[in-house]
Chains A and B, each alone.
Chain A
């Protein structure tokens, strides 16, 4: 069967993925603030309430702990809830429910109950918003056993990863790069098999000198950086991590064994972030292959700055290339 190539935005790819998940399984329900008639502040659930009804696309009261806590109850009743948290900085009122309830319930029941829940969180900066709208809280969740954490970076992945997350029997924290919602890419929207598993990394570009690793919004910047470096004669391997927990460490290690250098990019503050853990694991496994210390290119260790200053905070092409240069200096 001929594929149906379409150019779709990242945001619309999530919408389409959610629609497919809801068609496949009548137990899939969406819950969140403004997700019904409005379709969410980013319009990710646009049109879904009209097609699936108010019981399956639930406009919640304005209380995030309530969104996640009631979703736990729905999961116990046999539903597969997909929660929408409106912005990264608004997830904290639900933190207890996520960390103490969602993450632990399967273990506490010795496997007798499952919590097949997805919590969608638009994350990261670069959209000129006031405070609490641009954060990168992924490390809190990746640190918590019982949760799985993923981040998509491009439309085709978004389309598949949201469906895979909904199908997963474990709770999945699903990070969406909000400043990439309007990025478009062409892919086969009629395909029936996902190109790769949800918890696998993806080598987007092969190279020999340096491995560049990141996830979510910075992946596009990493690809631009690799293209710029190539013009200067540096061959960069670019890996989209995709899965923050579990960590697809084999893919990273295989690449670092080849290049001997690793630069990790994240918008989150560097201290105890994803890059810290990856750096530790790569050092443990690639001690003799490393030609340079693992370099982190990350947000500063400050509260997210006012939006007029955010370009100074976020890793951009120049800072990534500076990180590459530092790795190559050894």
Chain B
């Protein structure tokens, strides 16, 4: 073992804290643009218009999240998993994707779905209980939410293996070379499926970027329960690069994801990104974080807010004025009103459709049970 490796093991980058010296950052919590020799080039072409649209996305998905929370409290949703605090990680990485790239989300990636062009109502239907997903993954190359923790990492890897078998890696044709991105969290990093996905992706040089949003908490368990070393360093053991990025810095998440997606498209996958962020809210609306974490920690992370720092940059650099910010707030109000209206008017499908899509081909049990159900229902009408 080299001295360098021994030294690293003896004094590892902390798994928790402020992210440590390895964390890539382009925009400080105070809104100061800082330079990075490797990643500046990925944001060099961003225009003020691009940055304003980043800001708009951040504000709208925070509003989507706030509405999801409120709708659950009003009884309109059964559950809501909040993304509060993770907006930059989701918008930054999502905006780095090309339309023909493919996304495998968890159940918290409402922001990624939004920037992929998903109808915002889509994320609500699962939690309203009108479907178990219900959208066509091919429409926006955004797969269904996966609730079993980490299971989608294997789907992403297999999909990426298929991309490679199709010959859509390393051709140099930007419209053809394709990357797959897989979202998961710090808790999922302990799952067998995620670790198997790392092994498979490495063995088959799969063009997949594993995007871990380390939000510090897996329901009530802090990240120290999942790992001794920083999660991005896990990649090294599997034989591929890992990088930690400030997940509350939209410029850095955008830049680092761009870089990793390019690497994957060029045939240098897989790669792991650890977006270092914080779950500002509860795990879901069924959770009570006051039972297991101190409010001082939450207060500290408020200073690292992803939206505030971009707003500061836009204002200080003269790229946006008060009128712009007011206009986005108005748009968010309108967006929220439409979202609420769409949610409460979402239709529940009739009972007899339960059997419709269990199988792709005809199935005698589906037909028999549907017929029996309809006959049973009809017997009430006859009785009346």
Contacts and interface: CB of A to CB of B under 8 A. Distances in A.
A114 B356 CA distance: 14
A308 to B, nearest CB: 34
Among B131, B157, B359, the one with the most A-chain Cβ atoms within 10 Å of its Cβ is B359
A72 B182 CA distance: 14
B162 A100 contact: no
Given A77-B166, A170-B361, A104 B197 contact: no
Given A69-B197, A110-B134, A170-B361, A74 B151 contact: no
B296 interface: no
Nearest to A147: B359
Contact of A101 (B155, B163, B165, B360): B155
Contacts of A247: 365
Interface stretch (B16-24, B136-144, B308-316): B136-144
A170 B160 CA distance: 22
A111 B357 CA distance: 5
A231 B74 CA distance: 75
Interface in A162-194: 168-170
Interface string B89-111: 00000000000000000000000
A106 interface: yes
B138 A106 contact: no
A60 B159 contact: no
Interface residues of A, number: 46
B53 interface: no
A74 B137 contact: no
Interface string B342-384: 0000000000000011111101110000000000000000000
Interface string B126-139: 00000111111110
Contact of A74 (B133, B144, B158, B363): B158
A73 B162 contact: yes
Contact of A76 (B143, B360, B364): B143
B165 A106 contact: no
A246 B363 contact: yes
Nearest to A101: B151
Interface in A24-50: 29
B40 interface: no
Given A79-B165, A96-B148, A113-B137, A70 B357 contact: no
A326 to B, nearest CB: 30
A74 B200 contact: no
Contact of B132 (A71, A108, A116, A246): A108
Contacts of A29: 165
A77 B365 CA distance: 29
Contact of B357 (A76, A110, A116, A148): A110
B361 A74 contact: no
A203 interface: no
Residue of B135, B146, B155 with highest tally of chain A CB at under 10 A? B155
Interface residues of B, number: 43
Nearest to A112: B136
Contacts of B156: 73
B134 A108 contact: yes
Contact of B200 (A70, A109, A170): A70
Nearest to A73: B158
A246 B162 contact: no
Interface string A69-111: 1111111111101000000000001001100110011111111
A68 B161 CA distance: 13
A77 B360 contact: no
Contacts of B143: 76
B144 A77 contact: no
Contact of B162 (A74, A105, A109): A74
Given A29-B165, A77-B159, A113 B361 contact: no
A101 B148 contact: yes
A148 B154 CA distance: 22
Given A76-B137, A76-B159, A111-B357, A96 B199 contact: no
A274 to B, nearest CB: 15
B359 A170 contact: yes
Most buried by B among A29, A108, A113: A108
Given A70-B157, A74-B158, 9 more contacts: A61-B196, A69-B197, A70-B200, A97-B154, A101-B151, A111-B356, A116-B360, A145-B358, A146-B359
The 4 closest A-B pairs by CB, nearest first: A73-B158, A69-B154, A77-B162, A70-B158
28 contacts: A29-B165, A58-B204, A61-B199, A63-B192, A63-B199, A65-B154, A65-B193, A66-B193, A66-B200, A69-B154, A69-B197, A71-B158, A72-B155, A75-B158, A76-B137, A77-B162, A77-B163, A93-B192, A96-B148, A101-B148, A105-B144, A107-B132, A108-B133, A108-B144, A112-B136, A114-B360, A148-B359, A169-B360
